[in-house]
């Protein structure tokens, strides 16, 4: 239950902060800053009585600028600082053909000035997903997930970038069912990012 509470508090705080951005600030700083389209491969999920859990995700990330909020507390980094909403659909390839639907909520911070052609970043977030796959590890098909990772954008045009990202993830049902062993995964993702 603690995991559910933490996720709900994080989402509530994030949405309340985003709601405080005035219309004038939004116009000035482009609240929706970019959109990303990513795909790749997820592996590593060890399952007790089945083949390892593997999937191919298709993600769309909406990147919102957090600087109008951080400027209010006198924190104005030169690197990107974003909140991401990332809906996804995944095709589970192993142990059996199945599907997943989910949404992640990330905080993302750049490591170089935002004007750089090469922009490395780190990110961490939480989310929810529904999987059609039945496993012994999870007694529910609705699960929560945490992910953390790093990646980079390489801008080959002013507003278009190649994106490469790696993540570590953990999913579990947060104690909503009797079985809750969790599944750990590694994610390799690539795609394009369009900056508004």
- Three-state DSSP class for residue 66: coil
State the pTM of this model. Answer: 0.83
Length of the chain: 196
Q: Is the bond preceding 167 in cis, omega lying within 30 degrees of 0?
A: no
Q: Can you tell me the distance from the alpha carbon of 144 to that of 5, in angstroms, rounded to the nearest whole number?
A: 11
pLDDT tens, 23-65? 444 445 578 999 999 999 999 888 887 889 999 999 999 999 9
- Check if the beta carbon of residue 92 is closer than 8 Å to that of residue 54: yes
Say which residue, 5 or 56, is predicted with more confidence. 56
Q: What is the CATH number of domain 2-195?
A: 2.40.160.20
- Three-state DSSP class for residue 38: strand
**Confidence band for 20, pLDDT divided at 50, 70 and 90:** low
């Amino acid at each position: 239950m603690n995991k559910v509470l933490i996720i709900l508090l994080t989402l509530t705080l994030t949405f309340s902060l985003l709601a405080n951005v005035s219309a004038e600030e939004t116009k000035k700083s482009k609240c929706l800053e970019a959109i990303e389209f990513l795909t790749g491969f997820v592996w590593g999920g060890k399952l007790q009585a089945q083949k390892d859990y593997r999937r191919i995700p298709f993600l769309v990330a909406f990147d919102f600028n957090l600087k109008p909020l951080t400027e209010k507390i006198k924190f104005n980094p030169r690197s990107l600082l974003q909140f991401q909403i990332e809906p996804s659909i995944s095709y589970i390839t192993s142990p059996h053909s199945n599907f997943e639907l989910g949404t992640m909520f990330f905080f993302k911070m750049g490591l170089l000035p935002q004007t750089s052609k090469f922009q490395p970043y780190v990110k961490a977030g939480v989310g929810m997903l529904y999987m059609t796959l039945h496993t012994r590890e999870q007694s529910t098909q609705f699960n929560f997930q945490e992910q953390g990772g790093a990646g980079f954008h390489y801008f080959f045009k002013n507003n278009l970038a190649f994106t490469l990202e790696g993540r570590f993830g953990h999913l579990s049902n947060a104690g909503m069912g009797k079985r809750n062993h969790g599944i750990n995964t590694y994610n390799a993702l690539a795609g394009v990012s369009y900056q508004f």
